[in-house]
């Protein structure tokens, strides 16, 4: 090289870049900060977080997915951890906090190995070997969910970890009844479409006023005051077209020159609506649910015939009504027949809080049902809604899979014990990574005990001792502040939730470990300001103490 030669610049001067160990440390710190931020929410005695936005609106929750979704996260690696929570929530509906805590702990244990000179690729390989062994342990440890009592325990476990007060037994019963109602058997296999369970919320009353409706609640009132308030033995017409005179596609003008013809024109319009209502009446319908509008004149004739009518019903509600009542959605009134009508014991208008709603109840074998949540304030009903949605998902998964695992940190302790034994059979440095995997799993029982105010070290020692004696169901009994039998306590988790949480955590941890260079991309540097949301600066919004990027 000639003396005095200028260095070759590949990246623009001032481009932000972190390489090697600095990049790895920064990424691991970001992941650990996210995990630490929600650790205190884990378990029945976990704390809540209050999230306040720029205009002062607040969300109070201890649901991991909700907290991370509402947090203003800017660090690129922190965003990857948030994606783990989103993936867990979308796929299985629960276990979001567990997945994020595990991801943070896998990276924390990997950091120790990196300090000892173990290469990140070796750690990633060891983690994958440990994960394969963990899947086998989970499958061999799974128990059969054979009855509704087990499903209730699954629901209770999910709800006990949320902010539902002391009402989780009552709510769990509603959840199991709802899931059983919409469960269907196809090709010898049970499937549950949780979207067929509609969850509505209305503040006012107590949590125990929450009710399961074997049918549906439509957040609409009857369109005319002279229509009946209650219709028993309801025959329901489901129409997805408008009871209105269609407008022409091009602008048109009707010009009447003879005053005598005005009455003829109005009479023809009236006759059109009268014919529409006559077709509805002829089918035997005494209730009409319309997805689109109902003209005033049509409302008058419907009221005259004693037909209860609701307009502008959401498409999703129309589909659920069809499943709940056994009716068919009809577009053309000429196709409306007795066979296409849905059936319910009662359709009535009720005032709930400040709103009037239509209750369709007493449906025979409904394949869509409704849970109406009540509570003192908006914050209470919103948190119960999130909790119920999680519980519905986990009970639906257990109903489909027919398998569950012991909760309270029991399965994590069992996997930790057995993967340590597995590590001894593996040669090379991967053994160290498998040991790190086993140690990382202890974060779940440790966190449960910390959040319950227990001594984590003594608790973990006793828990390990119980599992070494072969007691697979030993876990953290937060109500008794000791190590207890999760089988007797009825603390159960769905197998799919635990598997997905572990797999997601390992995938994101190994991906982050393999990153050794963080460079500001051309797209972000040209289209965003250096400290903006698209840039690499600013650390993690709202999470003080985050190292700036």
Which residue out of 63, 94, 435, 493 is catalytically annotated? Answer: 63
Residue 538: per-residue pLDDT = 40
Report the distance separating Cα 203 and Cα 383, nearest Å: 12
Q: What are the beta bridge partners of residue 482?
A: 477
Q: Give me the average pLDDT of each 10-residue run along the chain (549 residues).
A: 54 56 83 91 89 86 85 85 89 90 94 92 94 96 92 92 75 94 89 92 87 92 94 95 70 66 63 90 95 92 95 94 94 92 95 89 91 88 89 94 94 95 90 95 95 93 95 92 93 94 94 80 51 40 42
Query: Is residue 390 annotated as part of the catalytic site, yes or no?
Result: yes
Q: What are the beta bridge partners of residue 342?
A: 236
Closest CA to 203 of 380, 59, 351: 380
Report the distance separating Cα 256 and Cα 262, nearest Å: 7
Q: Which runs of consecutive H residues, i.e. helices, occur in 92-164?
A: 96-115, 120-141, 148-160
Helix (H) or strand (E) holding 393: helix 378-401
| Cβ atoms of residues 41 and 101 within 8 Å | no
Report the distance separating Cα 478 and Cα 474, nearest Å: 12
CATH topology of domain 216-365: GroEL (3.50.7)
Query: Is residue 63 annotated as part of the catalytic site, yes or no?
Result: yes
Query: Is residue 257 annotated as part of the catalytic site, yes or no?
Result: no
Residue 532: per-residue pLDDT = 41
Which residue out of 66, 97, 150, 459 is catalytically annotated? Answer: 97
Backbone angles phi, psi at 404, to 5 degrees: -150, 165
Residue 529: per-residue pLDDT = 42
Which residue out of 41, 66, 77, 96 is catalytically annotated? Answer: 96
pTM exceeds 0.85, yes or no: no
Who contacts 510 (Cβ-Cβ below 8 Å, separation ≥6)? 123, 124, 127, 128
Closest CA to 62 of 85, 91, 38: 38
Domains in the chain: boundaries: 20-143+406-437+495-521, 216-365
Residue 247: per-residue pLDDT = 56
CATH code: domain 20-143+406-437+495-521 is 1.10.560.10
Which residue out of 89, 390, 435, 493 is catalytically annotated? Answer: 390
């Amino acid at each position: 090289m000639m003396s005095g030669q200028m260095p070759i610049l590949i990246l623009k001067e001032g481009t932000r870049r972190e390489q090697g160990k600095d990049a790895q440390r920064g990424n691991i710190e970001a992941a650990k900060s996210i995990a630490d931020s929600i650790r205190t929410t884990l378990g029945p005695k976990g704390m809540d977080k209050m999230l306040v936005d720029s205009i002062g609106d607040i969300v109070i929750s201890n649901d991991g997915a909700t907290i991370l979704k509402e947090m203003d996260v800017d660090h690129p690696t922190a965003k990857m951890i948030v994606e783990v929570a989103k993936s867990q929530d979308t796929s299985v509906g629960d276990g979001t906090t567990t997945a994020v805590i595990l991801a943070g702990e896998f990276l924390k244990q990997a950091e120790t190995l990196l300090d000892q000179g173990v290469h990140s690729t070796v750690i990633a390989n060891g983690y994958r070997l440990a994960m394969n062994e963990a899947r086998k342990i989970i499958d061999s440890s799974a128990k059969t969910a054979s009855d509704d009592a087990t499903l209730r325990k699954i629901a209770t476990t999910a709800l006990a970890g949320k902010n539902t007060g002391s009402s989780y037994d009552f709510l769990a019963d509603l959840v199991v009844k709802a899931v059983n109602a919409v469960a269907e058997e196809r090709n010898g296999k049970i499937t549950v479409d949780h979207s067929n369970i509609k969850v509505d919320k209305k503040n006012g009353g107590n949590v125990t006023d929450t009710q399961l409706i074997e049918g549906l609640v439509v957040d609409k009132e009857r369109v005319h005051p002279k229509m009946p308030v209650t219709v028993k033995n309801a025959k329901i017409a489901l129409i997805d077209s408008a009871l209105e005179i269609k407008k022409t596609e091009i602008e048109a003008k009707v010009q009447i020159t003879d005053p005598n013809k005005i009455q003829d024109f109005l009479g023809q319009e009236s006759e059109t609506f009268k014919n529409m209502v006559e077709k509805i009446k002829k089918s035997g319908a005494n209730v009409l649910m319309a997805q689109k509008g109902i003209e005033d004149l049509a409302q008058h004739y419907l009221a005259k015939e004693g037909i209860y009518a609701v307009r502008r019903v959401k498409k999703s509600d129309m589909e659920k009504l069809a499943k709940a009542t056994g009716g068919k959605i009809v577009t053309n009134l000429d196709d409306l027949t007795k066979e296409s009508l849905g059936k319910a014991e009662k359709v009535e208008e009720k005032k709930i809080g400040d709103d009037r709603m239509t209750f369709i109840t007493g449906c025979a074998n409904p394949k869509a049902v409704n849970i109406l949540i009540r509570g003192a304030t908006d914050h209470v009903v919103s948190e119960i809604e999130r909790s119920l949605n999680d519980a519905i998902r986990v009970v639906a998964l257990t109903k489909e899979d027919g398998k569950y695992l012991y909760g309270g940190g029991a399965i994590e302790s069992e996997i930790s014990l057995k993967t340590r034994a597995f590590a001894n059979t593996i040669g090379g440095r991967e053994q160290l990574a498998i040991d790190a995997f086993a140690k990382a799993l202890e974060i779940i029982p440790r966190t449960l005990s910390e959040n319950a105010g227990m001594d984590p070290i003594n608790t973990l020692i006793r828990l390990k001792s119980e599992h070494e004696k072969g007691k697979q169901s030993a876990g953290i009994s937060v109500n008794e502040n000791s190590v207890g039998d999760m089988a007797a306590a009825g603390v159960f988790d769905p197998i799919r939730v635990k598997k997905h949480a572990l797999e997601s955590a390992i995938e994101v941890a190994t991906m982050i470990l393999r990153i050794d260079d963080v460079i500001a991309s051309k797209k972000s540097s040209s289209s965003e300001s250096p400290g903006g949301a698209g840039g690499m600066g600013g650390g993690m919004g709202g999470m003080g103490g985050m190292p700036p990027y």
